[in-house]
Homo-oligomer: A and B are copies of this chain.
Amino acid sequence: MGFSHFKDGKAVMVDVSKKEDTSRRATACGSIEVNSETMDLIVNGGIKKGDVLGVARVAAIMASKKTHELIPMCHPLLLTGADIDFEIDEENLVIYAAGTVKTTGQTGVEMEALQMVSTALLTIYDMCKAIDKEMIIGRIYLKEKTGGKSGNFVNSKI
């Protein structure tokens, strides 16, 4: 087996024109470690609760629509839904993000879900970096996907 994105050793946007339109969904996850001062401001801070995550959510949804502009061999797709949730682990100073994207199309939305989570975490970094530049973004991965020829997938490593 080899890379689908190369044909005779050159990069291509893979021909999916023979694949059928199916309903597809993918969920990706990721996290960012912050320090206690940042966590405190995000949760109880001078600003009203949720705004950092509110801005990150809008950025993430907008980025999901830009995936094919960023990832060279990604096909453009008509996303039919995009949704991201955050979970705050105050004790361990971690914010978790889980993003789900849907489409009906000839290729999957794994990259869109990963792009969404990645942009959410980068936006959190941006909005908090005046306080702490040592945040670490970590463990971004595909959690599960449904639809398409390869069928359902659940990440067995997590």
Contact surface of A with B, Cβ cutoff 8 Å: 1-7, 9-17, 23, 30, 37, 41, 45-48, 50-52, 54-55, 57-59, 61-66, 68-83, 85, 102-106, 110-111, 114-115, 118-119, 121-123, 125-131, 133-142, 145, 153, 155-157
The 29 listed contacts between A and B (C-beta, < 8 Å) are A2-B41, A3-B45, A3-B128, A9-B48, A10-B85, A11-B51, A12-B81, A13-B83, A15-B80, A15-B81, A16-B81, A17-B80, A17-B104, A54-B54, A55-B58, A55-B72, A62-B62, A65-B69, A66-B69, A71-B119, A71-B123, A73-B126, A74-B126, A76-B79, A80-B106, A111-B122, A114-B122, A134-B142, A138-B140
